[in-house]
């Protein structure tokens, strides 16, 4: 591919130049952007065809790669580095404790803040300090299509705003709760950056102490959500919908909590993504009546 090399800081301007080929994506390294040129235009160099990466999957967050599950092998790490040229590569062995603090191993570079865009929203976070799951994209889109503007929504485990921003952007009035101070600081920044402060009330603390009144919809984006149902149901009424996340088969536990609380209900199960061998991350939509 014929390209011109420009400083990474000039990528946007160069990509809009008359000589740039808009049908092909620029190739970006740590400090240089290689812009494909139109046929017949002058070029600096020829980039060899990239070898596709076929190893263990990862999340790409700006110039950072984040591996989950099984730690990548030396060959996978080398191949991913050659394919993406990231400034930082991290491996997360999971999250620890109620604060959901990621257990991070640095495989390359220095961890730093990143900003990414998803479905028209921007999220800033530090992937070595707080969690973020790009695997929830389909669930965010589904939630967006369910929300009616003006409805009251409680996000019991708001994190940096995974579902809070989606709900607010759809027109809901959101009460966002997050126990981890680090995540909460990013939550506030992301609410402001997306211009949603007029629709979101954010509080730092345990959601069990912060829920107030009743809500039209309750978001429970935590794998232990079924265990929090008794408190969530105290803030529910006929017509409330709860989105209960969990791992594996928790429908019996959810049903038992609903019966104990005296509600009539309808449950619909949605599969989000594979979490581990023979284990699915699921969401149970619970509609009360």
Please indicate, yes or no, whether residues 142 and 281 belong to a single structural domain of this protein.
yes
Mark whether 205 and 242 lie in a shared domain. yes
The answer to whether residue 214 sits within a structural domain is yes
pTM: 0.83
**Could you tell me if residue 52 is inside a domain?**
no
In a domain, 122, yes or no: no
Query: What percentage of the chain exceeds 90 in pLDDT?
Result: 80
What DSSP designation does 262 have?
T
CA distances to 26, 183, 207, 228 from 217, in Å: 42, 22, 15, 15
Q: Are residues 269 and 154 in the same domain?
A: yes
25 belongs to a structural domain: yes
Could you tell me if 286 and 244 are in contact, meaning their C-beta atoms sit under 8 angstroms apart? yes
Asked if the structure places residue 246 within a domain, the reply is yes
CA distance 169 to 140: 11
Residues 6+ apart with CB under 8 A from 32: 5, 6, 7, 8
Does any domain span residue 88?
yes
Q: Rounded distance, CA 68 to CA 59, Å?
A: 8
Same domain for 38 and 87? Answer: no
Mapped onto helix, strand or coil, the DSSP state of residue 73 is: coil
Q: What range defines the domain where residue 36 resides?
A: 2-46
Quick one: 96 and 219 in the same domain?
no
Same domain, 178 and 274: yes
Between CA 57 and CA 40 the distance in angstroms is 38
Q: Is the pLDDT of residue 135 over 70?
A: no
Q: 156 and 216 share a domain?
A: yes
Q: Are 210 and 203 in contact (CB under 8 A)?
A: yes
Dump pLDDT digits (tens) for 72-128: 999 999 999 988 889 999 999 988 888 889 999 999 999 999 999 998 999 999 999
Which one-letter DSSP state was computed for residue 37?
A: B
- The answer to whether residue 153 scores a pLDDT higher than 80 is yes
At 9-59, the pLDDT tens digits run: 999 999 999 999 999 888 887 678 899 999 999 999 998 777 788 888 899
pLDDT digits (tens, 9 = 90+) for 160-186: 999 999 999 999 999 999 999 999 999
Same domain, 252 and 140: yes
The separation between CA 261 and the C-alpha centre of its own chain, rounded to angstroms, equals 32
Task: Check whether residue 136 and residue 97 sit in a common domain.
Answer: no
Judge whether 243 and 203 are in contact, CB under 8 Å. no
Question: For the residues 141-168, what does the mean pLDDT come to?
Answer: 97
Q: For the beta carbon of residue 195, count every other beta carbon within 10 angstroms.
A: 10
Q: Is 150 found in the same domain as 171?
A: yes
- Sign of the torsion formed by the C-alpha atoms of 104, 101, 199 and 167: positive
Instruction: Quickly count: other Cβ atoms within 10 Å of residue 106's Cβ.
Output: 12
> How confident is the model over 219-244, as a mean pLDDT?
96
Tell whether 118 is covered by a domain.
no
Q: Domain total for the chain? A: 3
pLDDT digits (tens, 9 = 90+) for 226-236: 999 999 999 99
- 237 lies in the same domain as 203: yes
Q: Is 82 contained in some domain?
A: yes
72 lies in the same domain as 144: no
């Amino acid at each position: 591919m014929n390209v011109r090399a420009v400083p990474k800081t000039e990528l946007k301007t160069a990509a809009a130049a008359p000589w740039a080929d808009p049908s092909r994506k620029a190739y970006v390294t740590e400090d240089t952007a290689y812009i494909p040129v139109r046929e017949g235009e002058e070029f600096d160099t020829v980039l060899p065809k990239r070898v596709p990466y076929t190893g263990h999957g990862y999340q790409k967050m700006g110039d950072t790669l984040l591996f989950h599950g099984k730690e990548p092998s030396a060959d996978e790490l080398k191949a991913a580095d050659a394919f993406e040229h990231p400034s930082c590569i991290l491996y997360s062995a999971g999250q620890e404790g109620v604060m959901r603090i990621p257990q991070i191993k640095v495989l390359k570079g220095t961890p730093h803040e990143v900003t990414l865009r998803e479905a028209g929203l921007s999220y800033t976070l530090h992937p070595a300090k707080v969690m973020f799951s790009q695997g929830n994209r389909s669930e965010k889109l589904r939630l967006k299509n369910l929300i009616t503007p003006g409805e009251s929504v409680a996000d019991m485990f708001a994190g940096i705003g995974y579902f809070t921003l989606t709900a607010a952007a759809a027109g809901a009035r959101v009460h966002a709760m997050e126990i981890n101070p680090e995540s909460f600081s990013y939550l506030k920044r992301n609410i402001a950056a997306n211009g949603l402060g007029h629709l979101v009330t954010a509080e730092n603390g345990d959601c069990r102490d912060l829920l107030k009144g009743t809500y039209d919809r309750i978001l429970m984006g935590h794998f232990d959500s079924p265990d929090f149902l008794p408190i969530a149901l105290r803030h529910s009424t006929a017509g409330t919908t709860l989105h209960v996340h969990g791992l594996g088969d928790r429908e019996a536990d959810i049903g038992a909590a609903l019966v104990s609380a005296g509600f009539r209900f309808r449950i619909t199960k949605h599969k989000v993504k594979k979490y581990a061998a023979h284990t699915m991350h699921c969401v149970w939509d619970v509609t009360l009546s």
